[in-house]
Chain A
Amino acid sequence: MEPTRSEDHAIVDLVDVLLREGAVLQADVVVTVADVPLIGINLRAAIAGMTTMTEYGIFTEWDEEIRKRPERRSELGTRPSPSMSDDER
């Protein structure tokens, strides 16, 4: 199984992580908005709208760049079945 960056949930992961994480600077010279409520609210709302982004084509360029990167395809496809046949428990 290989990691992917080209699916919707990968984009969600990215946005999630980009807003909440990353090296934090602490110094007089630094401005960082991450903890300022103003943008926090905006960005949370922005995330809520992420799923519609592909529909509006915002990801097109992004998508193309992703595809240019070394091929990384998910081998997923397993789906949960209604009844579990695992007898281990």
Chain B
Amino acid sequence: MSGAESSTEFEEGRYLYCAIRAEDAPSLSVEGIEGGSVTVLAQDGIGAVVQPVESLFDSDDLTQVQRWLLSHQRVVDAASDAFGTPVPFRFDTIIKGDDQRVREWIDERATELADALDALSGRWEYRIELRWDENAAREEIVAEDEELSDLESRIDEASEGTGYLLEKQYEQHLGERLQDQRADLGGTLYDRVADYADAVETLDRQTTLLDAEGDDSDDETLEPVVRLSVLAHEDDEEAIGDVLEEFASQPEFDVRFTGPWPPYSHAPTIGNGGGSEG
């Protein structure tokens, strides 16, 4: 924690996994991060799933960080199973203070939390990635696009200098056509899924993992066309699956469909306007 700001320093804190609907103070039988004890602190019909901590979870040991992330998710899963869709908090969200402080916090934010829980009730996050064989798509464009075949014959006849410029033009045009197709496909998938969703967000085409690794070794030539994060009611999961099946059943496409996740991407900011931090 070298150079930590004062705002990240505390002696007693409660790691906050998620908020749920709870009347009394129900127990939750799950082990927390680093084997910590997980409790549900209830106030005003809202429960905070917490674990006592004395510091942030921060480490240079990657394996340890990975374990923490999975432990975090395990707790949120257990809470989801017991109490329904939670308002899931971001990893390493900690409330400074003791149990009583957490109850006060719930009390202060009861309306916001209740609204968020109502809005998310019965809904989950699904992640969709549509991928295609981009080489095949490129070849098809080359085979069909007149402007490209025109450029190609001009390149064949051109001098070295002119040929170079024409080749650049060729690549640019091909790139634009590919992008058009991606946008068409992505837009179509988006619209079809949106019919059954409360919210759809387009994500970066690359996952963090792929960015970091620089390649996608398990799937030779498949490139992402579009990635979506979808908030949908559990009753609509099947309809969305049917839409995806239409894409997945075409040989040029591959579809990844994961979930149901706690609605991380669709969770609100709690305490907006109430804090003093800039």
Chain A residues close to B by CB (< 8 Å): 1-5, 7-10, 12-34, 36, 38-39, 42-51, 53, 56, 58-59, 62, 65, 74-76, 78-86, 89
Interface residues on B, range: 35 or more
A80 touches B251 (CB 8 A): yes
30 A-B pairs with CB atoms under 8 Å apart are A1-B245, A8-B218, A9-B129, A9-B256, A14-B69, A19-B69, A19-B208, A20-B90, A21-B264, A21-B265, A22-B91, A23-B116, A25-B16, A27-B274, A28-B277, A31-B56, A33-B91, A34-B91, A36-B5, A38-B3, A42-B60, A46-B65, A46-B69, A47-B208, A58-B70, A75-B245, A78-B255, A82-B135, A83-B140, A84-B137
Q: Is the interface of B mostly helix, strand, loop or mixed?
A: mixed
Q: Mark B121-138, 1 if CB is under 8 A from A, else 0.
A: 000011101001101110
A23, A36, A80: the one within 8 Å of B253 (CB) = A80
* Cβ-based interface call for B97 (8 A): yes
Q: Which 7 A-B pairs have the closest CB atoms?
A: A22-B90, A80-B133, A48-B212, A23-B267, A26-B275, A33-B92, A21-B264
Question: Are A74 and B264 interface neighbours, CB within 8 A?
Answer: no
Give the residue name and chain of the B residue nearest to A28 (CB): B276
| A22, A42, A59: most-surrounded residue (chain B CB, <10 A) | A22
B164 to chain A, nearest CB (A): 30
- Please determine whether A81 and B90 come into contact, CB atoms closer than 8 angstroms: no
Inter-subunit contact A31/B221 (CB<8 Å): no
Instruction: From A27, A43, A49, A86, give the contact of B275 (CB < 8 A).
Output: A27
Near A by CB (< 8 A), chain B positions 76-109 give 77, 87-97, 101, 105, 108-109
Beta-carbon contacts under 8 Å, B236-257 to A? 237-238, 241-242, 244-245, 248-257
Q: Verify if B272 is at the interface (C-beta below 8 Å from A).
A: yes
B270 touches A26 (CB 8 A): yes
Contacts of A16 in B (CB 8 A): 207-209
CA A58 to CA B270, docked complex, whole Å: 33
- Asked if residues B96 and A31 are in contact (CB atoms below 8 Å), the reply is yes
In the bound complex, do residue A23 and residue B258 qualify as a contact, i.e. CB atoms below 8 Å apart? no
